Amino acid sequence: MAHALGALASVSPSVAADASLRKAGFKINNNLSYDNKLWIPLSSVNLKSRFSSTKFQCKVVSMSVQQTVQSKIPVQPLELENAKEPPLNLYKPKEPYTATIVSVERLVGPNAPGETCHIVIDHGGNVPYWEGQSYGVIPPGENPKKPGNPHNVRLYSIASTRYGDSFDGKTASLCVRRAVYYDAETGKEDPSKNGVCSNFLCDSKPGDKILLTGPSGKIMLLPEEDPNATHIMIATGTGVAPFRGYLRRMFMEAVATYKFGGLAWLFLGVANSDSLLYDDEFTGYLKDYPDNFRYDKALSREQKNKNGGKMYVQDKIEEYSDEIFKLLDGGAHIYFCGLKGMMPGIQDTLKRVAEERGESWDTKLSQLKKNKQWHVEVY
């Protein structure tokens, strides 16, 4: 995990970052440098084959694993913390920013329905953003509905912190599901109807150029006034993108101005285990910060709800409804991100739970919105 085994004691980044760096597009055998300290992930060091002598093995055994796991990754440049307001619409559709694809990596396993990719983009520090904001992407080619004109902008929630996956403020990451259309009669894929932008992004190669607009959005910004606040995050599929940014900021990065000491509770709904996104990162936080992080999964094709039906994210919410309502009464923030089809089922569940508690859901929802505790971004 360091250039020489004897340097293990001075390691500053987290072992848990190893898996996230893989997801960010880094090759595991590359040396990485943070804060002028050379680092390679522990998994790339074959302790048995490289160091077979007793002397080296004893050094490894004596390493304090707890300290290594708990430490966070220093982030640069620190001036990204100085702005009082989030950056908004620095680049517009008529004058987009030309960024470069760094890496594209499939996030899901072989048994996942569909393909979801983690895409790292180099913006050179010229399109800064805050956690919870979105980028617009203009795919190449012309708009079929307006010949001679470019495609319309597609919005994607940013899946990284303002420092990006390389922790230097020069990259951003998107979590994109490839939109594929299948003909209902033949059952065959019809490429002419596939999602233009999602397929462009998932098919991109390192070095390809990409036109960005934004950043945009304020509704999903992470409130940081109270570092001990509770944040309940509810996502379906790629809706987990902004929450990955929140959680990296809370648990992975050493941010001088934001030291999280509250509770982050993530509910993630996907089809099956192979469809889980960033699961290695989230389970790492669960291990390292058990008092500050909770993680519940709703796997619709693998789990059953209390009525024997498929387990959806609203079923998980109902399972913990008493606790969730108490946290909301105590000022917790609640966030929803994913396909807009998720919201009716969730709203129905919350309304039913409220009525069972003798409360009016409409009144409660109005109060949550008034208190700025309610954050929704669906598409």
306 and 351 inside one domain: yes
228 and 364 inside one domain: yes
Annotated binding residues: 157, 177, 238, 300-301, 310, 338-339, 377
205 and 95 inside one domain: yes
- 123 φ, ψ to 5°? -110, 5
Calculate mean pLDDT across residues 1-22.
Answer: 38
> Which of 193, 216, 239 is the endpoint of a domain?
216
Beta-carbon contacts of residue 263 (< 8 Å; ≥ 6 apart): 230, 231, 292, 293, 294, 327, 332
Q: What residue has token string 């960033």?
A: 278
pLDDT at 181: 77
176 and 162 inside one domain: yes
Question: Cα separation of 308 and 310, whole Å?
Answer: 7
Structural domain boundaries enclosing 282: 222-378
Highest averaged pLDDT of the listed ranges 11-15, 70-74, 98-102: 98-102
- Mean pLDDT lowest for which of 23-37, 123-137, 199-213? 23-37
Residue 199 lies in a domain: yes
Confidence tier at 194 by pLDDT (50, 70, 90): confident
pLDDT digits (tens, 9 = 90+) for 311-345: 999 999 999 999 999 999 999 999 999 999 999 99
295 and 190 inside one domain: no
Annotated binding residues for NADP(+): 157, 177, 238, 300-301, 310, 338-339, 377
Confidence tier at 38 by pLDDT (50, 70, 90): very low
CATH code of the domain containing 126: 2.40.30.10
Instruction: Tabulate helix, strand, coil % of the chain (nearest 5).
Output: 30, 25, 45
Residue 11 lies in a domain: no
**DSSP helix/strand/coil, 152:** coil
Tell me whether residue 262 is exposed, middle or buried, using C-beta atoms within 10 angstroms of its C-beta: 0 to 12, 13 to 18, 19 or more.
Answer: middle
Query: Can you read off the two tokens belonging to residue 189?
Result: 């894929």
Beta-carbon contacts of residue 281 (< 8 Å; ≥ 6 apart): 16, 19, 20, 23, 244, 247, 248, 252
- 335 φ, ψ to 5°? -125, 145
pLDDT digits (tens, 9 = 90+) for 238-253: 999 999 999 999 999 9
> Which of 196, 216, 236 is the endpoint of a domain?
216
Residue 43 lies in a domain: no
Which residues are part of the catalytic machinery?
A: 156-157, 337, 377, 379
CATH code of the domain containing 279: 3.40.50.80
Residue 28 lies in a domain: no
**193 and 181 in contact (C-beta within 8 Å)?**
yes
231 and 370 inside one domain: yes
**172 and 123 in contact (C-beta within 8 Å)?**
yes
pLDDT at 356: 93
234 and 161 inside one domain: no
275 and 192 inside one domain: no
Calculate mean pLDDT across residues 36-45.
Answer: 37
**270 and 236 in contact (C-beta within 8 Å)?**
yes
230 and 177 inside one domain: no
Residue 52 lies in a domain: no
Residue 24 lies in a domain: no
Confidence tier at 193 by pLDDT (50, 70, 90): confident
Calculate mean pLDDT across residues 172-191.
Answer: 83
> Which of 159, 186, 216 is the endpoint of a domain?
216
Going from the C-alpha of 305 to that of each of 78, 302, 317, 318, the distances in angstroms are 46, 10, 11, 10
154 and 103 inside one domain: yes
Residue 29 lies in a domain: no
79 and 175 inside one domain: yes
pLDDT at 94 over 80: yes
Domain count, the chain: 2
Residue 172 lies in a domain: yes
pLDDT at 57: 40
Choose among 158, 267, 262, 164: nearest CA to 220: 158
178 and 251 inside one domain: no
pLDDT digits (tens, 9 = 90+) for 272-313: 999 999 999 999 999 999 999 999 999 999 999 999 999 999
